[in-house]
Amino acid sequence: MRGVIAGLSATPGQRSTMAARAVHSWMSPRRDDGLHDTHALGAFRSSLYSPLVNCSPSNRARLSSFRERTSVNPWPMGFLSPRYQVYMHQTSSSRQLCPRSFQAAKKTPVRSISKGRKSKEFKTLQSSDLKYIEWWRLKVENCTKPVTRELMKKLKYSNLLGLDENLRNGNLKTGKMNAEILETKRQFPHEILMYRCGEFYEAVGFDACMLVEYANLNPMAPRSDTVPRAGCPIMNLRQTLDQLTYQGFSVCIVEEVQGPQAKGHLKERFVAGHAHPGSPYVYGLVSADVDLEFPEPVPVMGISRSRRGYCLISVLEMMHSFSVEDALTEEAVVAKLRSRQCQQLFMHRSLRRDTAGIAQWGEGGLLYGECQKKQQEWYDDDPVDGLISKVRELFDLDDDQEFREIVVPPGERPRPLYVSTASQIGILPTAGVPSLLMVLLPPEANSLCTSYVRNLLLHPPPHRVADCIQAACRKLAETTSSIPDFTCVSAAKLMKLIETHEANHIEFARMRNVAEDILLMANDPQLSDVLDLLLDPTWLATGIHIEQKQLVDDCTFLTSRIGNVLASDSDIDQTVSSDENIPDDFFRDLEESWRGRVKRPHFEKEFVEVNEAATELIDAVFSDFLPIVNCVKAYQKPLGGGLGSRKGEICYSRDSQAVWFKGKNFRPAVWGDSPGELEMKKLTPAYDGKGKKMGEEWWTTTRVEDALIRYRAAVEKASNAVVQLLRDLAAEVKVKLNALIFISVLSVIAKSLCLHVSEGKRRSWVFPTLDLSSENSNNQDVGPGHMVLEDLIPYWKDPVCEQAEPNTIELNSMFLLTGPNGGGKSSILRSICAAALLSVCGLMVPARNAVVPRLDAVMLRMMSTDSPADNKSSFQMEMSELRTILAEATSRSLVLIDELCRGTEVQKGTAIAASVIESLDHIGCRGVLSTHLHDLLDMKLRVRNVVQKSMGVKQIDGRIEPTWKLVDGACRESLAFEVAKKEGVPESVVQRAMELYKEALESRNSLSKESTLTSTSPRCSNLVNGATNGAVDGLDNVTTGVLTFQAQSLNVEGATEPNESDEESRDRSRAVGNGSHPAAKSKKDLLDCMDAFSRICEKKLQELGDANSYSSACSFIGPRQLPPPATTMHSCIYMLQRPDGRFYVGQSDNLTSRVRRHRTILIDAPFLYLIVANKSVASELETTLIHQLPSFGIMLVNKGDQNHRHFGTAPLADAPPF
């Protein structure tokens, strides 16, 4: 009994959790909403203490005091490690709180059975278990590790766990732990079940095999006569769950109620949560000071087929939403399947109705081969409703669980990219293909921005939304206002944490930041238009439509409500308690988990109790322990007699969360009246939370123990109050959940576009002009207008550090493109495809000028590989893709085909290619067909608008070299032998090939001399001469074009004159809220220095003769803001204010990156900046400002740059002649 009472009084986690027998009903997917049964809770709590009624009077008094303290609402439970505690609460909400046992999924509580009670018969196999046992049998048979194979020999397929009752620990009788595990397994038959057992999370049977196979764990019971069992320590739970969900498994986690348990009874357990692919385990995060990384949500997908084409249904359980994409081609479906992970793939029976007989299902075999790689299942009924029913069954959701359909904005929309198109421009990762995604955004772009741009390119938006995206990008490129440093947070993460009431202070702070960013944009005259333009793209991404006025109201509510609860960094009254006699770790471990999270007035009572209890504990330690420590120190003086071996100090026991005296040989041999001896007589041995004596060195006193009990109870009460406040805040914010999802996605889109504009300006890309000449025409035979790409360069070439040959392309019909190997045909096709795709998405293109029509599809077909899974050769796959192109192409499509029919016999391949050209010309689409089938040039084709183009060549020292320039005419030279030599083919092989080629050519000449005279020598010689002349002219044109391109790029990138009349309104709109933020004063101080900063810069620029480039109004960058994209590729002079009131002056050619580096140390530092002509001017201004600003009373911290004397700012006329 003494041990039990000591355990109750030792630690808050171990003491109070003995009373925890209830959890929120939302932890179990099958739940009932209702009110709390307080009478049942009272009776339950009374019955809990019934075994202790016969304890001693002193212990009964301590127990009574404990029961009074634990009669408050919150009950704590352990979360993954002793340092983190999660707290369950009684609330007045509609969520039910009732006693639940290990079988938390059942609607009626089941109490654990005592070992002494007679066990009843338990039905280990039910008819509903059979299909799930077969499902697990297939999973187990896929295991390949030898250790897993050994475990499989001990499985028995007679129950859902796979346990053999004849083995050790395989008992499934009622009252045994395995029986309760089996009952919970029946509630979640598709999930791996991991249950808490002490310091481990364990699994048995089938689940243990999965842990060993996919989580790289070792079996916990290697003996041959025990059931399969595996597990991981509590600190490795996250890692284990990540490995299992990465493999596509779902995991059900069962926690146990911490604390002592009556002998002969099983520990109470409850279903704490689930981990799915893309949906991590969040139980206990509300009280943990951790930032859990959320992966991209993984949908359940379904595929069906109708007369319109394929239909792809995606269901996100975490978002409670679904989307339907209809009229897709086989290639488009495969592209979407490859672009993201899929938790489960359901195939509708309509796919088997294939009349073509070409494949088992799917016309070309691509879909069949792709689906074979994924976990799939067939289903009937309605394609959409049937799939949602499957999702409810898969996740064990209620039948009335609703799912919101994502409805996109109206308007004509281009078709999704085909898998070949997405692969050949690097949207889908492909070996050897340069990635378009890598050049659209800078390296610092986060995964959310990259994911948004990838989805945008895979399924281009409606033309109306693309116009909004381009207009927003143009305004971002022109704005002079500082832009918010948009906080990016996953919408799925916010939704799950808010719905489960597990959002901690870190996530609430991010929600507030996101809302403040939106308000900043709404209050800025320049950024307000950008915000309005981003509403439609956000509608497209979320399926939620919110007008700007309503959005501003919702953001105001969120910032106000969250700001009223969350504590700020300036709240100095929430520092952790401290005392010189008590180790700092003690107070830090017990108080850091709740201090500084919410504002003090919301839990003032608990806050005061903690401070009073801490003061009482400090006094107790000072009076009871400190005299002993001083006495021991006196003994330790070099007096001889072995007295120096005595030790004593005040120490912190982390496991017991207690401050005790730790000493050895500290008692005197003869007691006297020395200071500290009276306190030594009061010492008693210290006991841990389980009532076990800590050891011979740990000591305490009654006063210190009472102070510890009160302090830990006060800390627990304060921590519970903080957690309850955060849960209540989540309930209040939940009413604005749609607005939270909307602004989180809008923030990601805004940041993505800002990063894209900055990177595009750095690469000298431009915004295309969209040709609307035939947008409103309903005649499909009418082309969409002109397509002109001036000085187009390959998208993977960086003009800053790489040389690229620009090409001007006017593509108003089909091009028949010929050219030598390595001449750039494939590069031209990829460049045109990327430019067209970026244009229809509203993004910047790698050209000097671009005019692109409204396209309904962008198709790029390049090399094909075989499909062994579908028994198809590469030529068969090529013909399958060609069939789709011919069926889907219209007069408004862009079709790009590279080297058609390379995988078959030349004559028949030439005939097929000729027929394809005629078909595409008849359709009226624009595009390019490149080929080495030169016989096409001699055929009489029935075409109207096919133009022959070629990649230019030139002669250098008798060698023919490619120019990578697109020229008129045809080219019959392949340069095959030259390329083979260049790539290292043995000289003997090349020489023999040339001999065989000459023999074949002579044989052909002898058979058809007349044909030879008309088709070989004259044509070849004309080609070389024409190519040489064209190459020389083209080289001059290239030089002129590059110079013109560079000159115009400088004009585009020139500093923009800000509008002086907008300065006051811009300054007024930068502050968010009522101006009470700590940064408000910093802004005022820095703006007071703007006049001196401006006057010094203006005077110096006039001296340098560069006053015309001077902007009369300096720009301000507030806290959590960044410079606009207009500063990209420009030199800037800036000044920042430090928290100590001093200033720093600097200059940079990359102001955004410099601001980020400064704020790694000086968080929320404000800036003033000015765009200047070049780095030399910025350097001279920097030195001038450092010299002159102190005369205006401005204190600077950097003095080193004031010694610079040499700048490249002298007039060009003063330069010496060459």
What is the per-residue pLDDT across 201-253, written as a single tens digit (0 to 9) for each? Answer: 999 999 999 999 999 999 987 777 899 999 999 999 999 999 999 888 999 99
Helix (H) or strand (E) run with residue 681 in it? helix 677-681
Averaged pLDDT, 449-473? 95
* pTM for this model (two decimals): 0.78
- Please report, to the nearest 10 degrees, the dihedral formed by the alpha carbons of residues 1023, 1026, 1032, 1033 taken in order: -130
pLDDT at residue 161 is higher than 90: yes
Bigger pLDDT: 641 or 229? 229
pLDDT at residue 82 is higher than 60: no
Boundary residue ending a domain (371, 386, 406): 406
User: Which of 489-498, 639-648, 773-782, 1073-1082 is predicted least confidently?
Assistant: 1073-1082
Judgement on whether residues 17 and 78 belong to the same structural domain of the protein: yes
pLDDT of residue 775: 55
How many CA atoms within 13 Å lie on the side-chain side of 83?
13
Boundary residue ending a domain (99, 118, 146): 99
pLDDT of residue 122: 57
Nearest to 1089 by CA among 1145, 1132, 1025: 1145
Bigger pLDDT: 149 or 371? 149
pLDDT of residue 419: 87
Bigger pLDDT: 1086 or 1007? 1086
The answer to whether position 705 is within a domain reads: yes
Judgement on whether residues 324 and 223 belong to the same structural domain of the protein: no
The answer to whether position 762 is within a domain reads: no
Averaged pLDDT, 317-336? 88
Averaged pLDDT, 774-798? 73
Judgement on whether residues 267 and 314 belong to the same structural domain of the protein: no
Judgement on whether residues 687 and 589 belong to the same structural domain of the protein: yes
Averaged pLDDT, 246-267? 80
Backbone angles phi, psi at 92, to 5 degrees: -90, 10
CA–CA separation, 738 and 715 (whole Å): 36
Judgement on whether residues 1094 and 1013 belong to the same structural domain of the protein: no
pLDDT at residue 1031 is higher than 50: no
pLDDT of residue 1108: 57
Q: What letters, b where the CB count within 10 A reaches 16 and e where it falls short, cover 334-354?
A: bbbbbbbbbbbbbbbebbeee
Judgement on whether residues 182 and 315 belong to the same structural domain of the protein: no
The answer to whether position 691 is within a domain reads: yes
Looking at the structure of the chain, the number of domains it has is 6
The answer to whether position 315 is within a domain reads: yes
Mean pLDDT of all residues belonging to the chain = 79
Percent of the chain residues topping a pLDDT of 70: 77
pLDDT band at 175 (very low <50, low <70, confident <90, very high): confident
pLDDT at residue 766 is higher than 90: yes
Nearest to 594 by CA among 575, 580, 608: 575
Domain range spanning residue 64?
A: 2-99
pLDDT of residue 1128: 85
Q: Find out whether 286 and 503 touch, Cβ atoms under 8 Å.
A: yes
Q: Find out whether 964 and 803 touch, Cβ atoms under 8 Å.
A: no
pLDDT, tens only, 890-912: 999 999 999 888 878 888 889 99
Bigger pLDDT: 509 or 867? 509
pLDDT of residue 446: 92
Q: Find out whether 325 and 416 touch, Cβ atoms under 8 Å.
A: yes
Boundary residue ending a domain (349, 384, 406): 406
Averaged pLDDT, 772-788? 60
First to last CA, the chain: 101
Q: Which bin fits 64, alpha (ψ -120 to 50), beta or left (φ > 0)? A: alpha
Bigger pLDDT: 35 or 168? 168
pLDDT band at 363 (very low <50, low <70, confident <90, very high): low
Please name the amino acid found at residue 604. E
Averaged pLDDT, 451-460? 94
User: Which of 694-698, 775-779, 1083-1087 is predicted least confidently?
Assistant: 775-779
Q: Which bin fits 824, alpha (ψ -120 to 50), beta or left (φ > 0)? A: left
pLDDT at residue 1177 is higher than 60: yes
- Cβ-based neighbours of 250, under 8 Å, separated by 6 or more: 188, 190, 191, 192, 274, 275, 276, 277, 343, 394, 395
pLDDT of residue 1215: 45
CA distances from 543 to 410, 464, 536 (A): 11, 16, 10
DSSP letter for each residue of 783-816 = -----EEEEE--TT--TTTS----EEEE-SSEEE
pLDDT of residue 902: 81
Judgement on whether residues 888 and 1018 belong to the same structural domain of the protein: yes
CA distances from 746 to 406, 753, 872 (A): 16, 11, 44
Q: Find out whether 778 and 891 touch, Cβ atoms under 8 Å.
A: no
Judgement on whether residues 1041 and 1069 belong to the same structural domain of the protein: no
pLDDT at residue 697 is higher than 80: yes
pLDDT at residue 173 is higher than 90: no
pLDDT band at 799 (very low <50, low <70, confident <90, very high): confident
Helix (H, G, I), strand (E, B) or coil at 300: strand
pLDDT band at 694 (very low <50, low <70, confident <90, very high): confident
pLDDT, tens only, 528-537: 999 999 999 9
Averaged pLDDT, 78-88? 35
Q: Find out whether 1141 and 1091 touch, Cβ atoms under 8 Å.
A: no
CA–CA separation, 285 and 1157 (whole Å): 31
Could you tell me the two tokens for 783? Answer: 């082309």
Bigger pLDDT: 263 or 992? 992
Judgement on whether residues 93 and 151 belong to the same structural domain of the protein: no
Q: Find out whether 324 and 305 touch, Cβ atoms under 8 Å.
A: no
Judgement on whether residues 839 and 984 belong to the same structural domain of the protein: yes
Bigger pLDDT: 395 or 120? 395
- Cβ-based neighbours of 342, under 8 Å, separated by 6 or more: 298, 299, 300, 301, 374
Q: Residue 908: exposed, middle, or buried by beta-carbon count in 10 A (0-12, 13-18, 19+)?
A: exposed
pLDDT band at 65 (very low <50, low <70, confident <90, very high): very low
pLDDT of residue 361: 54
The answer to whether position 65 is within a domain reads: yes
Q: Find out whether 493 and 483 touch, Cβ atoms under 8 Å.
A: no
The answer to whether position 484 is within a domain reads: no
pLDDT at residue 1063 is higher than 60: no
pLDDT, tens only, 121-157: 557 788 888 989 998 999 999 999 999 999 999 999 9
Q: How many other β-carbons are positioned within 10 Å of the β-carbon of residue 263? A: 8
pLDDT, tens only, 960-1005: 778 888 999 888 878 888 888 888 899 999 899 888 888 888 887 7
Q: Find out whether 271 and 265 touch, Cβ atoms under 8 Å.
A: no
pLDDT, tens only, 561-602: 999 999 987 777 788 999 999 999 999 999 998 999 999 999
- Please report, to the nearest 10 degrees, the dihedral formed by the alpha carbons of residues 968, 973, 978, 984 taken in order: 90
The answer to whether position 116 is within a domain reads: no
The answer to whether position 1093 is within a domain reads: yes
Nearest to 686 by CA among 711, 649, 660: 660
Nearest to 844 by CA among 810, 809, 893, 795: 795
Judgement on whether residues 845 and 993 belong to the same structural domain of the protein: yes
The domain that contains 262 carries what CATH number? 3.40.1170.10
CA–CA separation, 599 and 622 (whole Å): 31
Judgement on whether residues 41 and 156 belong to the same structural domain of the protein: no
pLDDT band at 262 (very low <50, low <70, confident <90, very high): low
Could you tell me the two tokens for 342? Answer: 């899929």
pLDDT of residue 1013: 39
